[in-house]
Structure 1
Amino acid sequence: MKILFNTHAKKNRQRLLLSMAFLGLGSIYAQEKTQDSTKIEKLDEVLVKAVRVDAKSPITHSNVSKEDLAKRNLGQDIPVLLNFLPSVVTTTDAGAGVGYTGIRVRGISSQSTNVTINGIPYNDAESLGTFWVNLGDIASSTESLQLQRGVGTSTNGSGAFGASINVLTDAISKTSSGEISNSFGSYNTRKHTVKFSTGLMNDHIEIAGRLSNIVSDGYIDRASSDLKSYFLQGSYVDDNTLIKAIAFGGQEVTYQAWNGLEDLYTLRNDRTYNTAGEYEDNNGDIQFYDNEVDNYSQDHYQLHWNQRYNNLWSTTIGLNYTKGSGYFEQYKADEDFSDYGLVPLDFNGEIVDETDLIRRRWLDNDFYVINANANYKTDDINFIFGGSFSHYDGDHFGEIIWAEYASQTEIRDRYYDGNSLKNDLSLFTKANYKLNESISLYGDLQVRNITYKTTGTTSDLVEFAIDKDFTFFNPKAGITYELNQDNDLYFSYARANREPNRTDFESNENIEAEQLNDFELGWRHKKNNFSFNANVYYMAYNEQLVLSGQLDDVGNPIRTNSGKSYRLGLELEAIIPVIPILTLQPNLTLSTNKNKETIIPFDGELQNLGETDISFSPSIVAANAIVVQPIKNFQIAVLSKFVGEQYMSNTEARSSKLDSYFINDLNFNYSIKTNTIFKEIVLSGLVNNVFNEKYISNGYYYTYDDTWSEANVTTTIEGAGFYPQATRNFLVGATLKF
């Protein structure tokens, strides 16, 4: 692709830097004159100011820069790139980090992790989950990212219940640039990315964009991915104004791999086997349907307007429209006519009421958001207030696109059809107040109202009529005490409430909202290049919606209220410069995660199991990076991750236990400065799972009752499924920067 570079008029440097500082995008420094002096200040990014916290806030968090992401960004999704942060466990259906990936923080599922992009909610309004597969290569357009653990600060969209991830997309570039990246690796994985920026034209306007394509066959059989994505932004800056229009999104086609493996013999002897699309032909031979895929497109359109009025006041308005549409396709054998509303056929006196068929289950949704906030800032107080409103309108419907016996169906008939409407309004006010040279206070109040209404039928042809209204009050408060310039102590309390999602209501229409009281106590130490953070958390829940271990028929995790439960943990992390060329970056989480009482039906009667471990909550999660930089432009990192054993159920059932695992990756980066057409050539490499560990990071657990009619005895049958992760594999890439 030919990239055109625009020359622009002679810049007024002071004016540009001042305007960018007012608007706060990227790592821009500016001179800000006060009555007393002139000082240099690095200002927060305005687009995410309302949802982020700074280094001194009493909120437990990690910051990830563009440079940090770039070192490992060879095609894998954001959750995998965040795998080595404290308390994080990641997994992927296809096994190799491309396609459907997931992240759990402190043992808490992705449905309880709030995600925003430029302050706009990204979680799906109904499932509350985050589907990174719809944002292929978003890491290449990310300026910075902040992961908050615990409730964190008030944010837009569905409430954070264990973590929040807020993403800031590419900042404005003052100079024109271009970039071509290509990477290749195991399982025919490839990533191709082209980026450009015009730089600031006439001191005011920048246009930038990206096109990407990521493809992979996946570690699991046929678990292929084809992810096409784009990012385009146009920006206008002036002394006190920034207007930014952004469009991004793409289309993903992934072969399904959500079934996992239920057969332990197959798991041990053919761990890449994929049952998706499996059927028997007329000769009784096993075949696989070639289009058992998920096919979905999602496009986001954002408009942001930041205005600075004086040295004290600024405002931000953000608008968003997201269009999502797509389906997953399945071959189903010997399906009952009644499951699709079909009328049995009479062939010469023989009734036919079963058929092989191919079905598509569709989602077609529209999502609208408006955010607005105002900021008042002096040397002693930083006060922000504002709100967010979103409206979701989603259609769920199914079609039979082929059937061996078609009954009365017509083309484009919908065998089920439903609609969901959801409105989400939140108002907040938050402030940081510097009481004196040592003590800073933090306060945060949020009121959130959600209305959720559904009509029509589910895919099981069952009427689904939910009409719920929730109003939540979420207060937060904290204090930071600066012992000296090297040490801070902090304490915070946060209250959070969160509504059930669609799958929760489908499994139990009487399911309740969950509540959380989160207490965080921490110590932060930083001196020169050495830093050490310690944090103790206690998260007390009422009716926590924990993963039951079971999945519905389309792979969605089923959750259930657990009454009283808690998570108590200690998080440690450090950056240790051993010698000038060697740095260690360890982190460790030790926790206990308990349901205070677990009562379940088993073998035909209710059984009280007492206190049990919460599902998918390992008591030990640890990571380390050994970073060696023998010369200025060359870096090697050995990345290690340990995840302790965990249960996939809340019953501590032996068959639901996942063993602990310890994996190691090797990452290298070499930058070559040139005087040719390229400004820089960056060579990168990644060897995942160097020691070829056969491990499993995710799975599911299920039970069903089997009643012996003659003896009138009910026995509960247990089973489990597993998602094997890739053994040793590699990715290598080159980036050419113009």
Structure 2
Amino acid sequence: MKNLLPTGVALLALSGPAWAQGPVSGTLTDAQTGTPLPGATILLDGAASAATDAAGTFTIPAVAAGAHELRITFVGYEPLVRPLQGQAEAQRLTAALQPGGVLTGEALVTASRANERTATAYTNLSKEDLAKRNFGQDLPYLLDQTPSVVVTSDAGAGVGYTDIRIRGTSTTGINMTINGVPLNDAESRGAFLVNLPDLASSVSSLQVQRGVGTSQNGGAAFGASVNISTLDNRREAYGETQNSVGSFGTVKNTVQFGTGLVSGHFTLDGRLSRIKSDGYMNRASSDLKSYYFAAGYQQANTLLKFITFSGREKTYQAWNGVPEPALTGDQTLLQNYIDNGELTEADAVRVRQEGRRYSSYTYDNQTDNYQQNHYQLHLSQGLGQDWNLGGALHLTRGFGYYESYRARRRFLNYGLDNVVIGNQTLTRTDLIDRKWLDNYFYGGTFALNYQPKADDRLQATLGGVWNRYDGDHYGEIIWAQYASNGAIRQRYYFNNAVKTDYNGYARATWQVLPQLGVYGDLQLRHIEYAIDGTEHKPDDPSAVRGVVDVRTRARYTFFNPKAGATLTLAEGQQLYASFAVGQREPVRSDFTDRIAADAVPKSERLTDLEGGYRLSLPNASVLGTRAVARLEANLFYMNYRNQLVSIGQLNDVGTPLRTNVARSYRRGVELTGFLSANDKISLSSTLTLSQNRIRGYQEPISDSTFIARNSTISYSPSAVSAHTLEGQPLKGLRLALLYKTVSRQYLDNSESLNRSIKPYQVLDFRVRYALRPQFVKEIELGLLVNNVLNREYVANGYTYSYPGASGGLDTFNWYYPQATRNFLVSVGVKL
């Protein structure tokens, strides 16, 4: 039953709270036929508060005393707006919608989203959910309180390069889409949100699915998927600005505007954003700029929308992290790093001076520079009473480079001749190089949806996508102490990669009985991947003048079936279970950075079993107080074949190196709960307990000796929890405590305490105070204090080992320290 949207939305919906609050319920029908309208969206004061169920009924548990605006929208109908006066007594409404309204933007993304019929684990976040968390940190940090999530930041404070893992799976295994268009890089499969700073300010809704989930456009979801929508239509003109300032020189400025619906057909929306930060780590600055513009046309059952958004980032390279002795102060260990050439004497001096904020780079322009421009054209067309078609064309243009200072590099390793000066032959030089990415990603998507209004027992979608990626990778020398026979912008390697990816899927839900529903989803996906050219790998034994041939040809065809069932036990209670298969291809680095020359990477296969129980009580009573309560328990068993797992090492641009393991699994339980009493106080909690194991892992004991045993998968904590306690002591004032715990994580697959990240707990504090003076719609003041308890912790790292003098393995750990206590304050104005 679609009683409420997920955690936090109902709380936001009840704006302007007072002591006297009563429920509002109602029934929604078609004005011409009188039939119920299931799945309509109910908004109170602009915030999504409920949805109609199969009988067309809805309930808003508590509406504060005072004047409110109730808005009801449904695909294919004109929206209905009516005033509502909150009161202590229960209210009952009846409403009827007139056919002929335009399709909403959300109709374009529903094809890939889960709901209560698809028997999967998911979390929905509204625009308001994201807004109250958004002080300028990257999107992963706004998702930190969702189940099974671990986030980290290279620069330490959530601005710049950040990462997210869900169920221990990094972004290479998390499918991300924006309006149904793939966001993950076609080659690396990573989703580099640093390229789209302040994207959250343009998001209208977001869904996180855990596990394989429903069929998605783009790469397979091997741990989760994040489905982002920016397609909402705001009918009234608006202007907003959000500004934040805080620790480490962090500044965020955002301006948004929209025309509303002009002449009944046209909309124009825009956003400009700038975020700057020096970073917690030394020399880890970020300079981020972005824009978002959307122009829409709508008439009857047609919606046409052109969207362009872009991000440009310049970040000082912080992906090396800090050596372990910078955290521990162990001078003996530091000397071992020096003796083995991992640090120079000059590095060691700075380690002692800078401690946990140490940066290995000193060149003033050791930066990552990248720009990504996105263009999307969306069409949503109603086809009679029960059908609608969504389609999109897209183009993503990306280009940029890493600039690095390199000391005493061999000429031959850059394809250059040695330099002869008189009787002296020079074999090395200092130089500055740039490693470039220059690519195009384009294609099209479609989804044909069958959503009958009179009888919604059967709903179906037929969809697909065709994408092509064409990218150049090359290196240039822009300066050298000794020029040799090179020229300015001397290219020392070049390769081109082309990848074609297309898939089709068919999905349906069928309500067999009033209490029993079944779900099926079939996807066929085909990938062709080719690399031609050379890569710079001077340490590779097969390298010739510093480069190796990385010619690659790969082709894959995957069939991914999914099925599930839901059983309604009683009003607000549901059992569900699902089975899904996900398969995916190796990423670029698996081909170009092989652990062994003959170790050809294999594709991965995941069989995902999920099952759980949902309880929703929109009209509960706690100690005589009206309350909203929700509870979900989800069990999962994810069984892998040939899973590509991180070995703990990185390549020269910070990409984790991986290897196939024949058999592995993740299994556990996810518990989530939410309780709100009269909108005065609420508590939301999530806890994940899991086992993440490799069967028969080959653990190295020395350079040539291995032992087989079961072992924990790297970067996979066995316990993750998040808790938010929020209260409203005064009208418009909201206070929140956010507590996060993450258990031990291992840097590689050896399950060694000496190569691990210690468990950590982090407490944050947030204040939001909204004023509504007569001269503007709203002024909101905010404060976010991160890491209130001032804990020194790390959330990520890497390791590598090689034979030592004693015959065993010498291990070198590097970590990414996170910021100690820090703050951000914000001022927002809505016109």
TM-score, normalised with respect to structure 2: 0.82
How far 1:605 sits from its partner (Å)?
2.0
8 A contact 1:330–1:359 mirrored in 2: yes
Residue 645 to residue 300, structure 1, CA distance change in 2 (3 Å):
same
How far 1:348 sits from its partner (Å)?
1.2
Distance of 1:242 and 1:108 partners within structure 2: 36
Matched, 1:446 2:523: yes
**Residue of structure 1 aligned with 2:73, choices 16, 21, 29:** 29
Residue 572 to residue 39, structure 1, CA distance change in 2 (3 Å):
farther
8 A contact 1:31–1:39 mirrored in 2: no
**Residue of structure 2 aligned with 1:96, choices 149, 152, 157:** 157
Aligned to 1:717: 810
8 A contact 2:106–2:231 mirrored in 1: no
8 A contact 2:433–2:477 mirrored in 1: yes
Aligned to 1:684: 782
Aligned to 1:228: 289
8 A contact 1:271–1:724 mirrored in 2: no
How far 1:346 sits from its partner (Å)?
1.2
- Written as runs of structure 1 = structure 2, the 5 A alignment for 1:265-664 is 265=326, 268=329, 270-277=354-361, 288-378=362-452, 379-460=456-537, 461-508=547-594, 510-528=600-618, 529-577=628-676, 580-664=679-763
Look up the equivalent residue of 1:515 and give its one-letter code. R
Tell me the SS of whatever aligns to 2:233: coil
How far 1:106 sits from its partner (Å)?
0.6
Look up the equivalent residue of 1:522 and give its one-letter code. G
- Written as runs of structure 1 = structure 2, the 5 A alignment for 1:37-186 is 45-186=106-247
Tell me the SS of whatever aligns to 1:374: strand
Look up the equivalent residue of 1:400 and give its one-letter code. I
Percent identical residues: 44
Which of 47-56 and 125-134 deviates more? 47-56
Distance of 1:525 and 1:53 partners within structure 2: 17
Residues 429-476 of structure 1, C-alpha deviations (whole Å, 9 max, x = no match): 001111110011110000000000000011221111000000000000
8 A contact 2:451–2:460 mirrored in 1: yes
Residue 352 to residue 599, structure 1, CA distance change in 2 (3 Å):
same
Tell me the SS of whatever aligns to 1:458: strand
8 A contact 1:251–1:297 mirrored in 2: yes
8 A contact 1:210–1:232 mirrored in 2: yes
Tell me the SS of whatever aligns to 1:153: coil
How many residues are treated as equivalent by the alignment?
702
Distance of 1:161 and 1:387 partners within structure 2: 19
How far 1:68 sits from its partner (Å)?
0.8
Distance of 1:343 and 1:144 partners within structure 2: 57
Residues 109-152 of structure 1, C-alpha deviations (whole Å, 9 max, x = no match): 11100000000000000000010000000000000100000000
Residue 175 to residue 574, structure 1, CA distance change in 2 (3 Å):
same
Look up the equivalent residue of 2:359 and give its one-letter code. T
Distance of 1:726 and 1:698 partners within structure 2: 13
Distance of 2:704 and 2:233 partners within structure 1: 63
Matched, 1:737 2:737: no
Look up the equivalent residue of 1:315 and give its one-letter code. L
Aligned alpha-carbon RMSD (Å): 2.2
Look up the equivalent residue of 1:459 and give its one-letter code. H
Tell me the SS of whatever aligns to 1:504: helix
Tell me the SS of whatever aligns to 1:636: strand
Unmatched tracts of structure 1, length 5 or more = 1-13, 278-287
Tell me the SS of whatever aligns to 2:767: strand
Aligned to 2:800: 702
Aligned to 2:349: none
Residues 629-661 of structure 1, C-alpha deviations (whole Å, 9 max, x = no match): 123311111000000011111011232111100
Aligned to 1:5: none
8 A contact 2:212–2:580 mirrored in 1: yes
Distance of 1:616 and 1:120 partners within structure 2: 28
8 A contact 1:21–1:43 mirrored in 2: no
Distance of 1:43 and 1:316 partners within structure 2: 11
Residue 44 to residue 596, structure 1, CA distance change in 2 (3 Å):
farther
How far 1:406 sits from its partner (Å)?
1.1
Tell me the SS of whatever aligns to 1:462: strand
Which of 48-57 and 429-438 deviates more? 48-57
How far 1:39 sits from its partner (Å)?
7.0
8 A contact 2:104–2:233 mirrored in 1: no
Distance of 1:202 and 1:59 partners within structure 2: 42
8 A contact 2:106–2:232 mirrored in 1: no
Look up the equivalent residue of 2:555 and give its one-letter code. D
How far 1:276 sits from its partner (Å)?
3.6
8 A contact 1:32–1:38 mirrored in 2: no
Residue 658 to residue 209, structure 1, CA distance change in 2 (3 Å):
same
8 A contact 2:446–2:465 mirrored in 1: yes
8 A contact 1:343–1:407 mirrored in 2: yes
Look up the equivalent residue of 2:561 and give its one-letter code. P
Tell me the SS of whatever aligns to 1:563: strand
Distance of 1:656 and 1:111 partners within structure 2: 23
Residues 187-218 of structure 1, C-alpha deviations (whole Å, 9 max, x = no match): 01000001000010000000010000000000
Tell me the SS of whatever aligns to 1:305: strand
Distance of 2:486 and 2:679 partners within structure 1: 72
Distance of 1:266 and 1:32 partners within structure 2: 60
Distance of 1:382 and 1:26 partners within structure 2: 27
8 A contact 2:683–2:723 mirrored in 1: yes
Residue 83 to residue 656, structure 1, CA distance change in 2 (3 Å):
same
How far 1:31 sits from its partner (Å)?
8.5
8 A contact 1:207–1:235 mirrored in 2: yes
Distance of 1:714 and 1:344 partners within structure 2: 37
8 A contact 2:76–2:382 mirrored in 1: no
8 A contact 1:698–1:722 mirrored in 2: yes
TM-score, normalised with respect to structure 1: 0.92
Distance of 1:119 and 1:66 partners within structure 2: 17
8 A contact 1:31–1:40 mirrored in 2: no
Tell me the SS of whatever aligns to 1:562: strand
Tell me the SS of whatever aligns to 2:207: strand
Distance of 2:158 and 2:328 partners within structure 1: 19
Distance of 1:227 and 1:471 partners within structure 2: 39
Distance of 2:47 and 2:298 partners within structure 1: 13
